[in-house]
């Protein structure tokens, strides 16, 4: 089994990958490789937890886009968890926030992907109820 460098938590068929405080040129290649490695294991949802990430440069953005392309090709629902305004701003400026779904928490991302925190598939309609208010995406940066 492949060994990822960043923590991966499997919840049923959903994988949650936690990224470091800074996603920059020094770790971007490893981020990309780890995300692709996880995608090769066939999750139905890939949640990229950047809740603790406070900085992301263009190399980090590129790694996310490469992973998103692979996720789309394999029909895997990829979502980002972003809390830092600086990271939200970078993703908004680059347009990535329109390409990859962003959630305020892992629980909200799992719910939006139709997964429970226990890794169980949610019945139709339950994901929206658990995801929380839709206005999060419209919050100013």
Query: What value does the mean pLDDT take over residues 44-52?
Result: 97
Residue 22 has pLDDT above 90, yes or no: yes
Whole-number pLDDT of residue 114: 84
- Report the sign of the C-alpha dihedral through residues 39, 106, 53, 140, in that order: positive
Q: Domains in the chain and their CATH numbers?
A: 8-133 (3.30.750.24)
* d(C-alpha 126, C-alpha 116), whole Å: 9
| Structure-model confidence comparison of residues 3 and 111, the more confident one | 111
């Amino acid at each position: 089994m492949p060994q990822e460098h960043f923590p991966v938590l499997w919840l049923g068929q959903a994988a949650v990958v936690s990224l470091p405080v800074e996603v920059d040129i020094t770790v971007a290649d490893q981020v990309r490789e780890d995300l692709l490695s996880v995608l090769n294991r066939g999750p139905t949802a890939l949640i990229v937890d950047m809740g603790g990430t406070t900085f992301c440069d263009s190399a980090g953005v590129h790694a996310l886009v490469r992973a998103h392309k692979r996720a789309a090709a394999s029909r895997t629902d990829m979502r980002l968890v972003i809390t830092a305004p600086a990271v939200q701003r970078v993703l908004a400026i680059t347009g990535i926030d329109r390409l990859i779904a962003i959630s305020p928490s892992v629980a909200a991302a799992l719910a939006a992907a139709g997964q429970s925190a226990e890794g169980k598939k949610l019945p139709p309609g339950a994901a929206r109820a658990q995801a929380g208010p839709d206005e999060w995406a419209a919050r100013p940066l």
